[in-house]
Amino acid sequence: MRRTKVLPVDLAAESGHSGNDLGRNSRPSAPTVSVIIPSLNEAGNIPYVINTIPDWVDEIILVDGRSRDDTERVAKVLRPDVRIVQQARRGKGAALQAGLAEAKGEILIIMDADGSMDGAEIGAFRDALVAGADYVKGSRFATGGGSTDITKLRRFGDQGICLLIWLLFGARYTDGTYGFKGVWADRLDDIRIDTDGFEVELLIDIRAHRAGLNTVEVPCFETDRIHGSSNLNAVRDGFSCLRVILRERFRSYRVTTH
Ligand SMILES: Nc1nc2c(ncn2[C@@H]2O[C@H](COP(=O)(O)OP(=O)(O)O)[C@@H](O)[C@H]2O)c(=O)[nH]1
Ligand SMILES: [Mg+2]
């Protein structure tokens, strides 16, 4: 089984670990950046989220999951240049499919709209990608990261998912369910999201690994959701995660040559 090394950001450039080099050499040193934000009834949180996003981000895409509140209007009032994208089906995975398909940036960052992620951390994602990573995972459990939001049940579930991904795919990740991620647009075809729910987080991780993407984790700090409550159901979505892990394990892959 081929292994993807997961490296702290400062080791990425000097590691020599590489996936498929196609396109990497021609990447810009000052890439354009799109931020994709799946949002479902987040009107109370979206001002905070948008205000944390650095000025140098070129494009903000808000994928609205048919919110019943003022999410879209609040976002537009705050940042008139926010692009609103509608999704075809329900779920965070469906939202990411729609948002990523519309994004124009060379680097694509995914973050939540609940106020638990700090847009100031986007800089670390961009730096790791410019330094040579194809795909960057935010991790609450890497050294330097943390969370005030995670429950014991979710931490236990996350550890189980990381263990399964290691045993079944050989990828050593410290966080299996965090939604703060970054990827070069030229690698999107390797990931090809085809699931609609919260299990999308680990689907991306597994596919990135199996496609040989140079993956780097950056430590992140997750705070409590500001308003409202989580849409995730630990049991229902836990089973969806298991289903995706097994489906991916028994799915045949075109192996990327190095
Ligand atoms: N567009 C869209 N966004 C969603 C959907 N479900 C969840 N989200 C967003 O995905 C992010 C993570 O969801 P959240 O409920 O906070 O889950 P948790 O962080 O795992 O507790 C938030 O920004 C939600 O608004 C959906 O069906 N459509
Ligand atoms: Mg959340």
Ligand nearest to the CA of 113: 1
What local confidence, expressed as pLDDT, does residue 21 receive? Answer: 57
Lookup: tokens for 188: 């999107």
3-state secondary structure of 240: helix
Q: What percent of the chain has pLDDT over 90?
A: 86
pLDDT digits (tens, 9 = 90+) for 176-230: 999 999 999 999 999 999 999 999 999 999 999 999 999 999 999 999 999 999 9
Distance 198 CA to ligand 1 centre (A): 8
pLDDT, mean of residues 239-258:
81
Report residues whose beta carbon is within 6 angstroms of any ligand 1 atom: 38-40, 42, 63-65, 87, 90-92, 95, 112-114, 179, 225, 230-232
What local confidence, expressed as pLDDT, does residue 2 receive? Answer: 43
3-state secondary structure of 222: strand
CB of 46 within 8 A of CB of 227?
Answer: no
pLDDT digits (tens, 9 = 90+) for 109-137: 999 999 999 999 999 999 999 999 999 99
Domain assignments of the chain as residue spans, ordered by start: 7-249
DSSP state, 56?
T
What local confidence, expressed as pLDDT, does residue 161 receive? Answer: 96
pLDDT-derived band at 252 (thresholds 50, 70, 90) equals confident
Closest ligand 1 atom, residue 149 Cα: 21
Placement of tokens 């890439």 in the chain: 31
Distance 42 CA to ligand 2 centre (A): 10
Residue 256 in this model has a pLDDT that exceeds 80: no
pLDDT digits (tens, 9 = 90+) for 9-68: 433 333 333 445 556 778 999 999 999 999 999 999 999 999 999 999 999 999 999 999
Left, alpha or beta for 115 (phi > 0: left; psi -120 to 50: alpha)?
Answer: left
- Other Cβ atoms closer than 10 A to 194: 11
Query: Whose alpha carbon is nearest atom 20 of ligand 1?
Result: 232
| Poorest-pLDDT segment among 123-137, 156-170, 190-204, 240-254 | 240-254
Residue 1 in this model has a pLDDT that exceeds 50: no
CB of 209 within 8 A of CB of 13?
Answer: no
Closest ligand 1 atom, residue 114 Cα: 23
CATH architecture classification, 7-249:
Alpha-Beta Complex (3.90)
CB of 95 within 8 A of CB of 87?
Answer: yes
Query: Whose alpha carbon is nearest atom 5 of ligand 1?
Result: 92
Distance 57 CA to ligand 1 centre (A): 22
Mutate to test the pocket of ligand 1, among 114, 233, 237 (most ligand atoms within 8 A of CB): 114
Residue 245 in this model has a pLDDT that exceeds 60: yes
Mutate to test the pocket of ligand 1, among 61, 92, 224 (most ligand atoms within 8 A of CB): 92
What local confidence, expressed as pLDDT, does residue 253 receive? Answer: 65
Residue 83 in this model has a pLDDT that exceeds 50: yes
Query: Whose alpha carbon is nearest atom 6 of ligand 1?
Result: 92
